[in-house]
Amino acid sequence: MNIFQTILILSAAFLAVFAEATLNAPRVWLGAQINFLPAIMVFAALNAGLPTVSALAILGGLWLDTFSANPLGISIFPLLIVGWPIYLRRDLILRDLPFAQFVMGGIASALVPAVLLLMLLSGGYEPLIGWGTLWQFIVMALGGAVATPFIFALMNWANRALGYQPRSDPGFRLDREIRHGKVLKHL
């Protein structure tokens, strides 16, 4: 596992939560706030280890709950519900295909708020639910689906540009000539 990739993922999650809390333009234009954490969770589950997925769910959930009206820590479980199954089946998912990224991001972006709403309702809270809630789910799912391929491209670019890249060529040429015989010693 690459520690740089973990730092990159957690930094992206922190910046995404900060941007969601400070930028009001998408909320005003669309009538809903797009949550980028499920898209980042899809990237982390497909490209990082289980400790990174767990750290993203815990820290990202706490950061998100800090800026929202949700009880502190309630967003951790929905992010884990998205991250762990993708991590467990990531060998079967076509992670480099933008369409697969789009679909996984849409499913994750729809599942996280749905599970969060169920947890709030089962915990005795009374969130405002109406026809506007359906519009918010649609905007969040489509926004997360569209954002996921861009997040994949941005994170892969940042990892290539800033991270350590192992050397791909062997240390010697394959067409070199090896001479067997006496070794000359120079004085």
Tens digit of pLDDT per residue, the chain (187 long)?
588 899 999 999 999 999 998 988 888 898 888 999 999 999 999 999 999 999 999 999 999 999 888 899 999 999 999 999 999 999 888 888 999 999 999 999 999 999 999 999 998 888 888 888 899 999 999 999 999 999 999 999 998 888 777 766 666 666 666 666 666 565 5
Domain encompassing residue 33: 3-162
For residue 180, is it within any domain?
Answer: no
Sign of the Cα pseudo-torsion (125, 126, 128, 129, in order): positive
Nearest to 33 by CA among 42, 17, 46, 20: 20
pLDDT in tens, 8-56: 999 999 999 999 989 888 888 988 889 999 999 999 999 999 999 999 9
What's the Rg (C-alpha) of the chain? 22
DSSP state of 182: P
For residue 56, is it within any domain?
Answer: yes
**CA pair distance 126, 133, nearest whole angstrom:** 13
For residue 38, is it within any domain?
Answer: yes
Number of folded domains that form the chain: 1
